[in-house]
């Protein structure tokens, strides 16, 4: 059975404000923001001299920013050159992979302390260009000629889930409504507004412009209206995560070094990574991600925990359907049963298994290569009881999980955290 | 079809498509069928394939109707008011392919039913004076 040869702790975590930052802030600026923010979270402080390597997760600075070789560039900005500075790529799971490789390197004894960087600056390109770059994470040989876009691939998966399990467009909307309610409480989120907030501001704007004020009764009315157009049926605009610039920084330390930085480290007790055929048509199952099932199987086995032991999770809601599939792939619910839990409010902040208290990729934002490093930032805060505003869960979090999916499920990284 | 003397490469698969033939490769050791073509059977770890022409019949496994398309499909004339369907087709022979689904009401995607029988339709697009053939399907 795979296990970590040494204990590994998360001793600090932070992020830049996520948003639409280009050209005011580019990759280097975003990363420095994240580094400073994470440095503040380390109880006894941390200096570059304490750190052995900088592991960088980034999807496609090559295509977004015409800049390759990001590892040493990021390391140098924070005083870590000439130490090792590799870059990892696995589409939207890039910094999840960087985190996992840092865990493995520390457990192996090669390094004692590693800074993990996740960074992506997407808005240097217009939306059509971003869509095109993202699509290169799918199969360009056989899915491109058939017209696949990323929302299109997840819309296709949603159609299969709808058919097999009776999942509905309203179920997808419930995921979005919840994640926006959480994101409204996160000062680092790109869209700090609930759907209700957005409806109110839209009505106000219409009133000021002297236009007919829409008579939406509730969020569902709004989300079924022309204000929320279809992007890739059955997915609408508010089923899709955002185009975002942002960065996150994690400090990992070996068990014996962790005490130098804090008296209350968060222990990483499980890590897993899985893969799958890049094309959906090459997979046996269109309603589940085998990479996620494999990654979580490994992580649960390593930590000796079971799905029922997990108290909160940050999962990869690049599209609302992905959160539903994640809840099932992680074993929190049986196949087809996650929607019942969502309808019952179980995944809300005050529910029995809060999911994406950060706002998720939907509301916090999705700087693709940075998302895998940003998820543990929320876990770090929730486990220490310091999540901002009103989003701290009301119980002591002892066991948590992050689920970081790459592309249309070709890669998945799952990590388990314990106090 | 085993008399076809062509290597099991992507380029040869695409050339068959240009000639309006949907081809797969079948592992002579275990019988598994691959579409698009593969040279190596990952199940057997052998490269003992034969070409097989597909019947072109199948059923709709999953689909979407896309209003914000790729540059290639925008070039083909699709847009928000003229969406197109991306689909996954399960072939009668058992394997699956990605293809555009045509001959359906893309603007009313709720009328499109998973499981419905479909047949192959090779779609020709003219770009800069050259005709390109892509894999498509339509209701049978």
Residue whose C-alpha is closest to residue B78's, from B98, B113, B107: B107
Contact (Cβ atoms closer than 8 angstroms) between residue A119 and residue A369: yes
Number of other CB atoms surrounding residue B118 within 10 Å: 25
H or E element: which one contains B138? strand B130-139
Contact (Cβ atoms closer than 8 angstroms) between residue B109 and residue B85: yes
What helix, strand, coil percent values describe chain B, rounded to 5?
10, 45, 45
Please check whether residue B1 lies inside any domain of the structure.
no
Residues of B in contact with A145 (CB under 8 A): 72, 134-135
CA dist A222 and A403 (Å) reads 30
Residue pointed to by tokens 């980034």? A58
Q: What is the CA radius of gyration of chain B?
A: 16
User: Is residue A65 over pLDDT 90?
Assistant: yes
What is the pTM assigned to this prediction? 0.97
In terms of domains, do B133 and B81 share one? yes
User: Is residue B90 over pLDDT 70?
Assistant: yes
- The pLDDT value recorded for residue A185 is 98
What confidence tens digit (pLDDT) does each residue in A110-152 have?
999 999 999 999 999 998 899 889 988 999 999 999 999 999 9
In terms of domains, do B87 and B106 share one? yes
Domain that holds residue B21: 10-53
In terms of domains, do B19 and B48 share one? yes
Please check whether residue B99 lies inside any domain of the structure.
yes
In terms of domains, do B17 and B41 share one? yes
Strand, helix or coil at A118? strand
In terms of domains, do B33 and B66 share one? no
CA dist A53 and A114 (Å) reads 5
Residue whose C-alpha is closest to residue A236's, from A404, A362, A405: A362
Contact (Cβ atoms closer than 8 angstroms) between residue B122 and residue A146: no
Q: Residue A2 corresponds to which tokens in the numbers above?
A: 């795979």
Residue whose C-alpha is closest to residue A51's, from A27, A72, A78: A78
In terms of domains, do B63 and B15 share one? no
Strand, helix or coil at A308? helix
Say what percent of chain A tops pLDDT 70. 100
Domain that holds residue A110: 8-126+242-418
User: Is residue A192 over pLDDT 90?
Assistant: yes
How does residue B127 score in pLDDT terms, banded at 50, 70 and 90?
confident
What confidence tens digit (pLDDT) does each residue in A226-276 have?
999 999 999 999 999 999 999 999 999 999 999 999 999 999 999 999 999
Look up A318 and say whether it is catalytic.
Answer: no
CA dist A8 and A268 (Å) reads 6
* A237 in contact with B, Cβ within 8 Å: no
**DSSP H helix total and E strand total for chain A:** 15, 11
- The pLDDT value recorded for residue A285 is 95
- The pLDDT value recorded for residue A1 is 58
ipTM: 0.96
- The pLDDT value recorded for residue A222 is 97
In terms of domains, do B32 and B68 share one? no
What confidence tens digit (pLDDT) does each residue in B51-73 have?
999 999 999 999 999 999 998 99
CA dist B83 and A325 (Å) reads 26
- Return the beta strands (E) in A135-265 as ranges: 230-232, 235-236, 245-254
- The pLDDT value recorded for residue A282 is 96
Partner residue opposite B67 with nearest CB, options A142, A159, A229:
A229
In terms of domains, do B114 and B49 share one? no
Residue whose C-alpha is closest to residue A125's, from A238, A244, A232: A244
Please check whether residue B84 lies inside any domain of the structure.
yes
Which residue in chain A is spatially nearest to B68 when comparing CA positions? A231
List the single range of A124-133, A193-202, A285-294, B20-29 with lowest mean pLDDT: A124-133
Please check whether residue B4 lies inside any domain of the structure.
no
Cβ separation A146–B62 shorter than 8 A: no
In terms of domains, do B63 and B93 share one? yes
What is the Cα B59 distance to its own chain's centre?
12
List the single range of A23-27, A134-138, A155-159, A313-317 with lowest mean pLDDT: A134-138
- The pLDDT value recorded for residue A128 is 85
In terms of domains, do B83 and B48 share one? no
User: Is residue B1 over pLDDT 70?
Assistant: no
Please check whether residue A304 lies inside any domain of the structure.
yes
Say what percent of chain A tops pLDDT 90. 96
Measured CA to CA in angstroms, residue B119 lies from A148, A157, A296, B115 at distances of 20, 22, 39, 13
User: Is residue A2 over pLDDT 90?
Assistant: no
How does residue B26 score in pLDDT terms, banded at 50, 70 and 90?
very high
Cβ separation A148–B69 shorter than 8 A: no
- Mean pLDDT, residues A329-337: 98
List the single range of A124-128, A169-173, A320-324 with lowest mean pLDDT: A124-128
User: Is residue B2 over pLDDT 80?
Assistant: no
Cβ separation A156–B68 shorter than 8 A: no
Total count of domains within chain B: 2
Partner residue opposite B88 with nearest CB, options A151, A229, A281:
A281
Q: What is the 3-state secondary structure (H, E, C) of A75-99?
A: HHHCCCCCCCCCEECECECHHHHHH
Q: Is A260 exposed, middle or buried (0-12, 13-18, 19+ CB in 10 A)?
A: middle
Which residue in chain A is spatially nearest to B112 when comparing CA positions? A159
Please check whether residue B26 lies inside any domain of the structure.
yes
Total count of domains within chain A: 1
Please check whether residue B5 lies inside any domain of the structure.
no
In terms of domains, do B69 and B127 share one? yes
**Range list of H helices, chain B:** 10-18, 71-75
In terms of domains, do B63 and B31 share one? no
- Mean pLDDT, residues A188-204: 96
Residues of A in contact with B61 (CB under 8 A): 160, 286
Strand, helix or coil at A286? coil
Look up A92 and say whether it is catalytic.
Answer: yes
Please check whether residue B43 lies inside any domain of the structure.
yes
CA dist B25 and A356 (Å) reads 44
Please check whether residue A176 lies inside any domain of the structure.
no
What confidence tens digit (pLDDT) does each residue in A10-58 have?
999 999 999 999 999 999 999 999 999 999 999 999 999 999 999 999 9
pLDDT mean across residues, chain A: 97
How does residue A74 score in pLDDT terms, banded at 50, 70 and 90?
very high
> Domain of A59: which CATH number?
3.40.47.10
Residues of A in contact with B122 (CB under 8 A): none
Please check whether residue A149 lies inside any domain of the structure.
no
- The pLDDT value recorded for residue A318 is 98
Please check whether residue A108 lies inside any domain of the structure.
yes
- The pLDDT value recorded for residue B128 is 84
- The pLDDT value recorded for residue A206 is 93
* A163 in contact with B, Cβ within 8 Å: yes
């Amino acid at each position: 059975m795979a296990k970590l040869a040494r204990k590994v702790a998360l001793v600090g975590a932070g992020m830049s404000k996520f948003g639409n930052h280009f050209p005011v802030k580019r990759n280097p600026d975003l990363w420095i923001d994240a580094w400073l923010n994470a440095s503040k979270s380390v109880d006894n402080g941390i200096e570059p001299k304490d750190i052995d390597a900088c592991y960088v997760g980034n999807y496609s600075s090559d295509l977004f920013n015409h800049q390759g070789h990001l590892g040493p560039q990021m390391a140098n900005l924070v005083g870590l050159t000439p130490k090792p500075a590799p870059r990892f790529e696995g589409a939207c799971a890039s910094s999840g992979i960087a985190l996992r490789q840092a865990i493995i390197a520390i457990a192996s004894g090669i390094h004692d302390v590693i800074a993990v960087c996740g960074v992506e600056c997407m808005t240097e390109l217009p939306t059509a260009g971003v869509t095109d770059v993202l699509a290169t994470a799918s199969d360009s040989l056989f899915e491109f000629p058939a017209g696949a876009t990323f929302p299109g691939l997840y819309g296709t998966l949603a159609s299969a889930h709808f058919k097999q399990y009776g999942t509905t467009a309203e179920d997808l909307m419930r995921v979005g409504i919840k994640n926006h309610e959480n994101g409204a409480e996160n000062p680092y989120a790109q869209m700090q507004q609930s759907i209700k907030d957005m409806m109110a501001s839209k009505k106000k704007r219409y009133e000021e412009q002297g236009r007919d004020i829409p008579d939406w009764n509730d969020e569902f009315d709004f989300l079924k209206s022309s204000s929320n157009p279809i992007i890739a049926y059955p997915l609408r605009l508010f089923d899709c995560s955002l185009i975002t610039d942002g960065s996150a920084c994690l400090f990992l330390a070996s068990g014996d070094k962790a005490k130098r930085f804090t008296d209350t480290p968060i222990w990483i007790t499980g890590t897993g990574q899985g893969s799958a055929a890049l094309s959906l048509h090459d997979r046996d199952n269109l309603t589940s991600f085998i990479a996620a099932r494999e990654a979580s199987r490994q992580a649960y086995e390593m930590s000796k925990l079971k799905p029922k032991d997990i108290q909160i999770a940050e999962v990869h809601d690049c599209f609302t359907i992905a959160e539903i599939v994640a809840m099932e792939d992680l074993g929190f619910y049986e196949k087809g049963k996650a929607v019942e839990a969502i309808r019952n409010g179980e995944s809300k902040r005050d529910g029995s298994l809060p999911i994406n208290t950060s706002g998720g990729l939907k509301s916090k934002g999705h700087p693709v290569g940075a998302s895998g490093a940003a998820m543990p930032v929320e876990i770090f805060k929730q486990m220490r009881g310091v999540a901002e505003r009103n989003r701290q869960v009301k119980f002591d979090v002892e066991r948590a999980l992050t689920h970081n999916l790459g592309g249309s499920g070709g890669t998945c990284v799952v990590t388990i955290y314990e106090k | 079809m085993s008399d076809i003397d062509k290597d099991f490469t992507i380029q040869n698969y695409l050339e068959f498509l240009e000639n309006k033939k949907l081809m797969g490769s079948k592992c002579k050791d275990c019988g598994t069928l691959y579409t698009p073509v593969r040279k190596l059977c990952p199940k057997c770890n052998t490269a003992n394939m034969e070409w097989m022409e597909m019947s072109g019949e199948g059923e709709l496994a999953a689909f979407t109707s896309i209003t914000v398309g790729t540059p290639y499909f925008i070039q083909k004339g699709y847009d928000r008011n003229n969406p197109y369907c991306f689909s996954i087709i399960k072939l009668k022979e058992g394997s699956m392919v990605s293809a555009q689904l045509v001959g359906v009401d893309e603007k009313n995607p709720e009328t499109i039913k998973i499981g419905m029988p479909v047949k192959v339709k090779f779609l020709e697009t003219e770009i800069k004076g050259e005709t390109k053939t892509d894999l498509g399907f339509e209701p049978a």
